[in-house]
């Protein structure tokens, strides 16, 4: 994030979260790796592990397939029509 963005209008909790997000994203981008000392080990995302890192408050948490059921519902109902369309419009 550009350092010129002002966060003076944020509450102190939101400001702390903003600083943490800015640090974590900057750290990840500069090293191309989210893992570092003091944070949970984060494996690369795959369709099987569905791994993601939640940055909330003062914690970093790893979740596995937290929205698998939602993804299945979307796939079953939304993408079914798209798949049928693709089959008929090759």
Question: 42 near 35, Cβ under 8 Å?
Answer: yes
Please state, in angstroms and rounded to a whole number, the distance separating the CA atoms of residues 21 and 3: 13
| Residue 16 CB neighbours (<10 A) | 13
| Residue 69 CB neighbours (<10 A) | 9
3-state secondary structure of 75: helix
Please state, in angstroms and rounded to a whole number, the distance separating the CA atoms of residues 36 and 29: 13
The tens digit of pLDDT for each residue in 29-86 reads 888 887 888 878 888 878 788 887 777 766 778 888 888 888 788 777 777 777 778 7
């Amino acid at each position: 994030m550009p350092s010129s963005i002002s966060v003076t209008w944020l509450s102190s909790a939101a400001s702390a979260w903003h600083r943490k997000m800015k640090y974590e994203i900057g750290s990840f981008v500069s090293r191309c790796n989210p893992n570092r000392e003091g944070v949970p080990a984060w494996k690369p995302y795959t369709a099987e592990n569905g791994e993601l890192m939640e940055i909330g408050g003062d914690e970093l948490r790893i979740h596995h397939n937290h929205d698998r059921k939602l993804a299945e519902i979307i796939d079953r109902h939304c993408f079914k029509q798209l798949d049928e369309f693709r089959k008929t419009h090759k």
